[in-house]
Chain A
Amino acid sequence: MPTATYAGTEVPLGEDGFFTDPAQWREEMASEIARAEGIEELTEQHWQVIKHMRHEFAAKGTGPTVRALGKTSGVTIKDLYRLFPKGPAKTAAKIAGIPKPRGCV
């Protein structure tokens, strides 16, 4: 199983690079994962989305899709794509240390 070291801790990752155990995620790891995804600096708005991702995962056992994020995170779809150009739901889930969200819409 592939692993990565974030903030000095080695964590196992799934084939697609997402956390397999969200409990191992810590806030200090986020900026390192973000940089690997091409996001140089996490702004307050990025954090709003990341925390929302964690919250939704804890409540529902799965991360929201982009459409759901646009409705519930307090960040518009346009802004979500500005913040996470390579796909907001997927990238934010990766940075938030939760499995890849699945959903067609």
Chain B
Amino acid sequence: MTDQITKVSVIISKGSLEGIYPGLIMANGARAEGIEANVFFTFFGMDAIRRNRQRNIKLAAVGNPGLRLPTWVGGIPGVATLLTTYLNRKMAKLDIPSIPEFVDLISDTGAGIYACQASADLFGLGKEDFVDRVDGIITVGEFYDLAAGGEIVFT
């Protein structure tokens, strides 16, 4: 194997359960393989690292064709919560960590955790709004500097 990947930067831009987990799994998996990794949270993806939001991430019950549910069913109050609880239980059984635990784990593996400056400005957020594991709020330019020499994965 000559073309091994040695570095990845994962961008997480969506604030739903199914928008956040794939990126976290990709980043953690990279570190498990000894690949250098950074995770860049932008737009609602930042919910995964926001103090008052990361414990309450829900599955997107509306506009999610993967669920095979009529849109109006997804809109019934409580359906999103119900589906989220079901999925979270299934993941806990497989020993997949919750989102807050997963962010801590990825940070412990030595991966960088970053929030997007433009999105933070848009939502009026500062360092204090993010969990302690966040290594910085950075601009897109700084992200590309950080990602230089590696692969970029947009989830």
Contact = CB atoms under 8 A, between A and B. Distances in A.
A77 B103 CA distance: 13
B32 A87 contact: yes
Contact of A81 (B29, B97, B110): B110
Given A67-B97, A77-B109, A81-B110, A105 B31 contact: no
A78 B111 CA distance: 11
B28 interface: yes
A35 interface: no
Chain A binding surface SS class: helix
A66 B32 contact: yes
Query: A65, A70, A77, A78 — which one has the most chain B CB atoms within 10 A of its CB?
Result: A77
Interface of B: 25, 28-29, 31-34, 94-97, 105, 108-110
A54 interface: no
B105 A67 contact: yes
Given A77-B109, A81-B109, A68 B95 contact: yes
B63 to A, nearest CB: 27
Contacts of B96: 105
Interface of A: 65-68, 70, 76-78, 81, 85-91, 104-105
B97 A87 contact: no
B92 to A, nearest CB: 12
Contacts of B95: 67-68, 105
Nearest to A85: B34
